[in-house]
Structure 1
Amino acid sequence: MKKTKAIKIVKPSQPTDLEYIKMFDDCVIDATKIGTIDKAIDEQVSANRNRYTDISDQVAGNVIKPFTSVLTPSTLFQPVNALDLSKPIDGSFAAFHKNTFEESLKNFVVGSSKIPWYFIACAHYLECTFDFKKHLHNGDPLSGYTVRVPANRPKVGHGPPFTFEESAVDALKFMKLNEISNWSLPTVLRKLEAYNGFGYFKYHSINSPYLWSYSNQYAKGKYVADGKFDAEAVSKQMGAAVILKRMEQRALIYIPRH
């Protein structure tokens, strides 16, 4: 009788898109933590939205020229009949068409190609506790190059100290996040979890507190040091997915599911 080969089942190393969506939609935030989460959203996340958006624009290469570059003395003080109105005064006027209704509607239905500002905000919290004096790569101080993994960053053409913005742009490009074309919910959650690694899911079959702490999707279990897992330790840090869930509940953002 011919022997059949045993089929080896390989455990996935990370959740699927559908699993991420279901966990997010089924996420129930710990009611005792909502005040803490709202405070962080109001005083840190939303308060620094413009700063995070500027970083996203720099990563995408969409740095808009100052308005003064359009209205120069030569254009301000010319009589109307001296201007050739059939041609744009300056390419910078494209900035006014950057967020058209059609583009906004499209980004509401499917994920945008730009790194969402709220992704950068969550990474900033998880790695730096919203401290603008630390590297987005890993929370090391901006007064020098990064020491922990990834070490010797950023590569920006000069030595320390560094600004938060230039280091953040380097961090996001180093992780190749600028190459993502669709920032749907699964992508946002997967890339945030990747910051800390998929060890919780792969080796311990629990949801990462990096995403789900302060919700029904996480109870206990935590890496207390590199490579050292404590099954009874409980994360005291709010999870990134929980922050985003609360922002959706408050209608501050909507993250496309696909």
Structure 2
Amino acid sequence: MKKKKHISPTVQPKQKGKIKAKTKAKAKSVPATPSDVEYQHLFDTCTITKEKIAEVDKIIDDKVIANRKRYDDISTMVQAGGALEGTFSTSSLFKSRPQFNAFPGSLQQLYNPAASVPEYSFQQGAGMLPDFSLGFSPKSNPFGLGFISELNSDLNFISNGRIPWYFIACVHYLECGFSFNKHLHNGDPLTALTRQVPAGRPKVNHPPPFTFEESAIDALKLMGFDKVTNWKLPFILRKLEAYNGFGYFKFHSMNSPYLWSYSNQYTKGKYVADGKFDSEAVSAQCGSAVILKRMEDRGLIYIPRF
């Protein structure tokens, strides 16, 4: 009886480059910032804490409105180029700036706004009148300013691509606590070039000390804000939040006190040190969006939405 020939199982040759790797489950992507619609909704539904209204009004009256002309002049000089024309460029220096409690991914959005604002809503409607069907109506105007003339002034800023004076005021508040003895870049003293990132600013043709205006022009151009042509509400709020970073939104699913402290949009939770979040801590600083909201309520400004 013949033995059956044992047939070895066929060994498949290795197929180079065709071995399928195990597919890893994709992590759910988290938006880097609130959407335009979310920013507008937060602002339009913002209610300032009653006990804080007097404090917010004092900030507006004593700091923001009182210094409007200086902010206006800075905006005009940025648009015109001023004596510093040709010395500015959107620099990578700001990208490495150590932000207190900042979310690193937000730095590009803050310091290179022209290149990082693809949203179509910021590119449409230049020079168009705002849509009053949104329900905006100024509640009061204690300074006796003509609302229509003030509104036209604000619209001229937007239609001409100028930085709104109230945006510069908020940056001044966030970076310098309204001090005119500090650099708008980072709050360093004007008696010397900036030491924190971006170091060695402003780039002007004389040694320190510097004026607040020339340093502010340098800071705003360095951050690329002279390239922005439409200053709408979501854009303004996003850039203000970027100064402190998007860590609250990204890591804690909460509204930033940097914008919303003193309002119904914020209760508690705060970074008390770099990278250290305390869920029970409460911010003692007024939010910058709250300042803008109160100014709208009083009929001092109007910020177009979309």
Q: Could you say which TM-score interval applies, normalised by the shorter chain? A: 0.7 to 0.9
Structure-2 residue corresponding to 1:176: 224
Structure 1 pair 256/106, CA: closer, same or farther in 2 (3 Å)? Answer: same
Match of 1:8 among 16, 27, 31: 27
Using the size of structure 1 for normalisation, the TM-score is 0.78
Q: C-alpha distance in 1, partners of 2:241/2:255?
A: 10
Number of residue pairs matched by the alignment: 218
Which deviations, in whole Å up to 9, do the C-alpha atoms of 1:82-106 show, x marking residues without a partner?
Answer: xxxxxxxxxxxxxxxxxxx9x9389
Structure-2 residue corresponding to 1:213: 261
Which deviations, in whole Å up to 9, do the C-alpha atoms of 1:211-254 show, x marking residues without a partner?
Answer: 11101111112222233222222111100100000000000000
Give 1:201 shift: 1.0
Structure-1 residue corresponding to 2:252: 204
Name which of structure 1's ranges 3-12 and 238-247 shifts more when overlaid on structure 2: 3-12
Structure-1 residue corresponding to 2:77: 58
Q: C-alpha distance in 2, partners of 1:117/1:254?
A: 12
Q: C-alpha distance in 2, partners of 1:214/1:28?
A: 9
- The structure with higher relative contact order (CA 8 Å, sep 6+) is 2
Task: Give runs of aligned pairs for residues 1-258 of structure 1, distance below 5 A.
Answer: 6-61=25-80, 104=152, 107=155, 113-258=161-306
Aligned AA (1:189): L
Give 1:145 shift: 1.6
Name which of structure 1's ranges 113-122 and 140-149 shifts more when overlaid on structure 2: 140-149
Give runs of ≥4 in structure 1 deviating > 3 Å: 3-8, 103-106
Give 1:7 shift: 4.5
Name which of structure 1's ranges 4-13 and 16-25 shifts more when overlaid on structure 2: 4-13
Listed as ranges, the gaps of 5+ residues in structure 1 are 64-100
Q: C-alpha distance in 2, partners of 1:4/1:238?
A: 47
**Contact preservation (8 Å) 1:154, 1:170:** yes
Give 1:150 shift: 2.3
Q: C-alpha distance in 2, partners of 1:106/1:144?
A: 34
Q: C-alpha distance in 2, partners of 1:158/1:111?
A: 34
Give 1:157 shift: 2.5
Give 1:185 shift: 0.3
Q: C-alpha distance in 2, partners of 1:129/1:106?
A: 24
Structure of greater Rg: 2
Aligned AA (1:194): A
Q: C-alpha distance in 2, partners of 1:172/1:187?
A: 15
Name which of structure 1's ranges 230-239 and 117-126 shifts more when overlaid on structure 2: 230-239
Q: C-alpha distance in 1, partners of 2:154/2:282?
A: 40
Q: C-alpha distance in 2, partners of 1:195/1:123?
A: 8
Identity of matched residues, %: 65
**Contact preservation (8 Å) 1:128, 1:139:** yes
Give 1:140 shift: 1.2
Q: C-alpha distance in 1, partners of 2:26/2:42?
A: 29
Using the size of structure 2 for normalisation, the TM-score is 0.66
Q: C-alpha distance in 2, partners of 1:106/1:213?
A: 25
Q: C-alpha distance in 2, partners of 1:215/1:27?
A: 6
**Contact preservation (8 Å) 2:154, 2:302:** no
Listed as ranges, the gaps of 5+ residues in structure 2 are 1-21, 83-148
Q: C-alpha distance in 1, partners of 2:276/2:223?
A: 25
SS of equivalent residue, structure 2 residue 243: helix
Q: C-alpha distance in 2, partners of 1:16/1:10?
A: 14
**Contact preservation (8 Å) 1:111, 1:256:** no
Aligned AA (2:226): N
